[in-house]
Protein backbone atom coordinates (compact mmCIF):
# COMPACT_ATOMS: atom_id res chain seq x y z
CA UNK A 1 0.00 0.00 0.00
CA UNK A 2 1.24 3.49 -0.86
CA UNK A 3 2.40 5.48 2.12
CA UNK A 4 3.38 9.15 2.23
CA UNK A 5 5.19 10.54 5.26
CA UNK A 6 5.89 14.24 5.63
CA UNK A 7 8.57 15.83 7.77
CA UNK A 8 10.33 19.14 8.18
CA UNK A 9 7.57 21.33 9.55
CA UNK A 10 8.12 23.65 12.47
CA UNK A 11 7.88 27.18 13.76
CA UNK A 12 9.79 30.04 12.18
CA UNK A 13 9.68 33.79 12.12
CA UNK A 14 8.49 35.70 9.09
CA UNK A 15 11.19 35.85 6.45
CA UNK A 16 12.62 32.51 7.47
CA UNK A 17 12.88 29.24 5.55
CA UNK A 18 11.85 25.63 5.93
CA UNK A 19 12.23 22.55 3.76
CA UNK A 20 9.50 19.96 3.83
CA UNK A 21 10.14 16.38 2.80
CA UNK A 22 7.75 13.61 1.83
CA UNK A 23 8.96 10.03 1.67
CA UNK A 24 6.85 7.92 -0.67
CA UNK A 25 6.78 4.19 -0.03
CA UNK A 26 5.50 1.60 -2.51
CA UNK A 27 4.80 4.31 -5.07
CA UNK A 28 6.25 2.81 -8.23
CA UNK A 29 4.09 4.18 -11.03
CA UNK A 30 5.81 5.19 -14.26
CA UNK A 31 3.59 8.23 -14.63
CA UNK A 32 2.48 10.19 -11.62
CA UNK A 33 1.86 13.55 -10.05
CA UNK A 34 3.08 14.65 -6.62
CA UNK A 35 2.07 17.75 -4.79
CA UNK A 36 1.97 19.84 -1.67
CA UNK A 37 -1.29 21.13 -0.31
CA UNK A 38 -2.09 23.07 2.83
CA UNK A 39 -5.01 23.75 5.09
CA UNK A 40 -5.26 26.54 7.62
CA UNK A 41 -7.81 26.45 10.45
CA UNK A 42 -11.26 27.32 9.18
CA UNK A 43 -10.16 27.28 5.55
CA UNK A 44 -10.40 24.81 2.72
CA UNK A 45 -7.45 22.74 1.61
CA UNK A 46 -5.57 24.51 -1.16
CA UNK A 47 -2.89 23.57 -3.63
CA UNK A 48 0.60 24.91 -3.08
CA UNK A 49 2.77 23.24 -5.72
CA UNK A 50 2.71 20.14 -7.90
CA UNK A 51 5.22 18.25 -10.03
CA UNK A 52 4.63 15.42 -12.47
CA UNK A 53 6.81 12.54 -13.55
CA UNK A 54 8.17 14.60 -16.47
CA UNK A 55 9.28 17.33 -14.09
CA UNK A 56 6.62 19.85 -15.02
CA UNK A 57 5.73 22.07 -12.10
CA UNK A 58 2.94 24.42 -11.18
CA UNK A 59 2.58 26.78 -8.23
CA UNK A 60 -0.14 28.70 -6.52
CA UNK A 61 0.18 32.43 -7.20
CA UNK A 62 0.61 33.10 -3.49
CA UNK A 63 3.87 31.13 -3.33
CA UNK A 64 5.44 31.79 -6.73
CA UNK A 65 9.00 33.01 -6.38
CA UNK A 66 9.19 31.89 -2.75
CA UNK A 67 8.56 28.14 -2.80
CA UNK A 68 10.24 25.47 -4.92
CA UNK A 69 9.00 21.92 -5.40
CA UNK A 70 11.44 19.19 -6.36
CA UNK A 71 11.81 15.43 -6.24
CA UNK A 72 14.61 12.95 -5.82
CA UNK A 73 13.59 9.79 -7.64
CA UNK A 74 16.47 7.77 -6.20
CA UNK A 75 15.30 8.58 -2.67
CA UNK A 76 11.58 8.41 -3.44
CA UNK A 77 11.31 11.80 -1.79
CA UNK A 78 9.41 14.96 -2.62
CA UNK A 79 10.58 18.32 -1.29
CA UNK A 80 9.18 21.78 -0.79
CA UNK A 81 11.71 24.52 -0.17
CA UNK A 82 9.93 27.45 1.41
CA UNK A 83 11.69 30.80 1.60
CA UNK A 84 10.56 34.25 2.68
CA UNK A 85 7.82 32.71 4.76
CA UNK A 86 4.87 34.85 5.78
CA UNK A 87 2.38 34.45 8.64
CA UNK A 88 -0.29 33.61 6.06
CA UNK A 89 1.71 30.51 5.12
CA UNK A 90 0.81 29.04 8.50
CA UNK A 91 -1.06 25.79 7.89
CA UNK A 92 -0.91 22.03 7.98
CA UNK A 93 1.01 20.95 4.89
CA UNK A 94 0.12 17.69 3.18
CA UNK A 95 1.92 15.64 0.60
CA UNK A 96 -0.33 14.00 -1.99
CA UNK A 97 0.07 11.75 -5.02
CA UNK A 98 -1.86 10.63 -8.03
CA UNK A 99 -1.03 7.70 -10.28
CA UNK A 100 -1.42 8.08 -14.04
CA UNK A 101 -2.79 11.63 -13.99
CA UNK A 102 -5.09 12.45 -16.86
CA UNK A 103 -4.87 16.23 -16.65
CA UNK A 104 -2.08 18.79 -16.79
CA UNK A 105 -0.27 19.37 -13.51
CA UNK A 106 -1.79 22.81 -12.88
CA UNK A 107 -5.31 21.37 -12.88
CA UNK A 108 -4.61 19.38 -9.75
CA UNK A 109 -3.72 22.50 -7.75
CA UNK A 110 -7.39 23.43 -7.74
CA UNK A 111 -8.68 19.88 -7.37
CA UNK A 112 -7.02 18.30 -4.32
CA UNK A 113 -9.95 15.90 -3.98
CA UNK A 114 -8.76 14.24 -7.18
CA UNK A 115 -5.54 12.91 -5.71
CA UNK A 116 -5.64 9.35 -4.46
CA UNK A 117 -2.93 9.27 -1.81
CA UNK A 118 -2.32 11.56 1.13
CA UNK A 119 0.11 11.87 3.99
CA UNK A 120 -0.79 12.80 7.55
CA UNK A 121 0.57 16.32 7.29
CA UNK A 122 3.22 18.44 8.95
CA UNK A 123 2.51 21.73 10.71
CA UNK A 124 4.14 24.96 9.59
CA UNK A 125 3.75 28.00 11.82
CA UNK A 126 5.12 31.39 10.83
CA UNK A 127 5.13 34.15 13.41
CA UNK A 128 5.33 37.86 12.67
Q: Which residues contact 60 (CB under 8 A, 6 or more apart)?
A: 46, 47, 48, 49, 109
pLDDT by residue for the chain (128 residues), tens digit each? 899 999 999 999 999 999 999 999 988 888 999 999 999 999 999 999 999 999 999 999 999 999 999 999 999 999 999 999 999 999 999 999 999 999 999 999 999 999 999 999 999 999 99
Gyration radius from the chain CA atoms = 14
32 and 99 Cβ atoms separated by less than 8 Å: yes
- Give me the phi and psi of 53, to 5 degrees please: -65, -20
Amino acid sequence: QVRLVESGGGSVQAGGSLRLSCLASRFTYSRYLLGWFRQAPGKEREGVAVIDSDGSTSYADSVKGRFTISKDNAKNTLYLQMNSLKPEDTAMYYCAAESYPTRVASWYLAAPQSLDYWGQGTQVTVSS
